[in-house]
Amino acid sequence: MDKESTLSASNFIRSIIETDVSSKKMERVITTRFPPEPNGHLHIGHAKSICLNFTTATDFGGTCNLRFDDTNPEKESSEYQDSITEDVRWLGFDWGKSTLHASDYFQQLYDFALYLIKHGKAYVDSMSADEIRMYRGTLTEIGKASPYRDRSVSENLDLFQRMATGEFEDGTHVLRAKIDMASPNINMRDPTLYRIRNASHHRTGDRWKIYPMYDYTHCVSDALEGVTHSLCTLEFEDHRPLYDWVLEQLPIAHHPRQIEFARLELNYTITSKRKLSTLVNQGDVEGWDDPRMPTIKGMRRRGYTAAALRDFCERIGVTKKQTTIDVSLLENCVRTDLDRCAPRAMSVLRPLKVIIENYPKSATDLLDAANHPKDDSFGIRKLAFTRELYIERDDFMEIPSKKFFRLAPGREVRLRYAYLITCERLEYDPKTGELITVYCTYDPKSRGGKSPDGRKIKGTIHWVSAEHAKRAQVHLYDRLFNIPNPSSSDDFRNHLNADSVEVINNALIEPGLGDAIPGAHYQFERLGYFCADENRHSAGSPVYNRTVTLRDTWLKKEVIQK
């Protein structure tokens, strides 16, 4: 990571760490961690946590661990782990030579559990899950003790060790911490530390028949790794007393500090794994990497850049107050980065043929076109100008409105990088009545789009040569939902945006775009930012995805709705 990509703005977490460092309260090297579960794909909310943890550590000269919380073997896989690793690296972060896992500490976690039992701080409970839930109480009613809470140390040790060897069925017993069933914090009412899972683990195989719970694993793993500041989202604030309690009971010298921050919430977006899974399973999207999905893989395939996501995470800041961010801010970050790094090209999505009647039939004129009007280092490319061209159908109007300055009968416009042309006559399909060809003349003295006598030309349109252009499939993506807060509704699928994707099968592109590598970014002039689809694009069959429009088209929609 370069210095420009690190967090520049101050936030309350940085202030806490600065105080800890200056007061010598934390004399270790600052260490954070990102602990994803390998049971799914990362989304934009994870990106915020990734950026926060890695950049905070970097800014203080420390390190950030990538540690997989692999404690639920029934839902986890190496495939998800590899996917997460790839996403974090793509975002631009590095965690050194080794990737860590909660499963690295299974033996130590088990030994610490034995320690808690021996010191009367944990017991084996044989109630069912429903009974445990009922005994736990509510926010207004205190819990009551399990009938198994006062088992002897020897009995608890015996049962726990037999749980570990696979003697019992799933759900028969659990290991619970012995804290306080009358605590106002429900998380402190004898929480479960271990449960039986007779399932094979993708790393440890069949070695273990019991698996630790997150609240127990998380704090112990942090301590063993020397994490100084454990940064969590706000839903873990009520779990912090348990985090501290576990570490206070165990013979571990280091005690990390847990700090909570507000998670990322975006309007027009869902980040619930359960709901995203529903979209995939119901066929509402192509898969987890569908360009409309808020997953990192989906956004990458759509054409979002890692730099844009990092910039977005920096701009939204870090607070304790839960707020919803307007997705237009994310889209603007994408526009800003692509404006800087995407070369320009021309594509016609809905072609309308233009014939330049006074241009020689067999002639081809090679014109200079800037690859980036703001950066000369991108160089120039040659555009082939021929007698037959295609323009965007929307750039012609037979009876133009007052503010329409593009091509119309008798009107002159500028072809980008080429010549001034004037519409002379029209040809229609005799069967359908559809306009099929616009016949024009050109001004030979206007090469490069310059007006030879200083006459003012209001309209400039893009084009491609009919002879040289290549056909392409283009996917025009938009927001997946049509209401700002789809997460608030159980019937969220009813609010899917019916226009979230439009597939154009016969778009025409500059010939060079057909040879682009998958993932390459371009600005299709006047149309938006596009990228060659990582999955479907090939030289023989080009496929492009619209990443984002040139302007925020939703702003106008929302104003009209109001």
- Active-site residues, by number, are 37, 263, 273
Contact 285, 279 (CB under 8 A): yes
Length of the chain in residues, anyone? 562
CA distance 124 to 314: 46
> From residue 295, how far is each of 39, 43, 287 by CA, in Å?
14, 4, 10
Q: Give the DSSP H/E element, type plus range, for residue 155.
A: helix 153-164
Contact 101, 203 (CB under 8 A): yes
What is the rounded end-to-end Cα distance, in angstroms, of the chain?
A: 43
Beta bridge partner(s), residue 86: none
Contact 479, 327 (CB under 8 A): yes
CA distance 59 to 56: 5
CA distance 187 to 243: 10
Contact 499, 305 (CB under 8 A): no
Look at the block and give the residue holding tokens 């794909």: 41
Contact 505, 273 (CB under 8 A): no
Look at the block and give the residue holding tokens 């008798």: 410
Indicate the SS3 state at residue 266: strand
CA distance 330 to 299: 11
Query: Of 376, 441, 433, whose CA–CA distance to 415 is shortest?
Result: 441
418-440 in b/e burial notation, b at 16+ Cβ within 10 A? bbbbebeeeeeeeeeeeeeebeb
* Residue 33: other Cβ atoms inside 10 A: 25
For the record, the structure tokens of 508 come out as 């025409």
> From residue 461, how far is each of 60, 314, 512 by CA, in Å?
51, 37, 20
Q: Concatenated DSSP letters for 14-62?
A: HHHHHHHHHTTS--SPPEEEE---SSS--BHHHHHHHHHHHHHHHHTT-
